Amino acid sequence: MNRCWATVLALALSQAGALTITASVTGEVPQGTRVGFWTVNPAGQALEEVVSAPLTGRELRLALPAQLSPGRSLQPLTPQNVTWRGVLEPVSLSAQASAAELKLFAFADSNLNGVRDPSEALREVGLVSGREPLFLVWTDRAVTVSAAQGYRADLIPGWNALLVAVGRSVVVTPLSNQKLELRLSLGL
């Protein structure tokens, strides 16, 4: 089993709404490893790759586009399909919106073609700040998602990079300049 640690050096939202994450990579990384953001369904299963990059050298840079491509990635946001970390019923939405949740996955690009093939297993990995995981969601309009235990996420149109702390209450804060770590334990 190989271990890889990466500290995010930069997380930037451009004026166009694109999101860029740059990470330094340390540790052993199996040849052909790619890491990328994928849209997921409410059960957390990967649907479509948005962006990926090979883990080569000591830097990873993922630039998310300002817009998501139309298709199965963007789904109507309803109280029934908000299955995000820290969300417990009852769930309420301030407006109708469509959204796409993104999760980070790694895979062994065995034929080095830069694309995940059906035979290449995806493994979910995550970015954290301390103990709080990064949550990424794209929305087509402003909407506030509220739920039990004080959960409140004020989402803006475009990318929303949030940290979610779960305890007796749930605290959702926008990511600003917090350092993130990418913790991989790969046996690819």
Contact 158, 138 (CB under 8 A): yes
3-state SS class at 183 = strand
Contact 87, 147 (CB under 8 A): yes
Q: Among residues of the chain, what percentage have pLDDT more than 90?
A: 55
**pLDDT at residue 22, rounded to an integer:** 67
| pLDDT tier for residue 55 given thresholds of 50, 70 and 90 | confident
Cα 14–chain centre separation: 17
Q: What is the dihedral of CA 172, 6, 139, 170, to 10 degrees?
A: -10
pLDDT tens across 121-157, in order?
Answer: 998 987 777 788 889 999 999 999 999 999 999 999 9
Both tokens of residue 118? 């059906």
* pLDDT(5) > 90: no
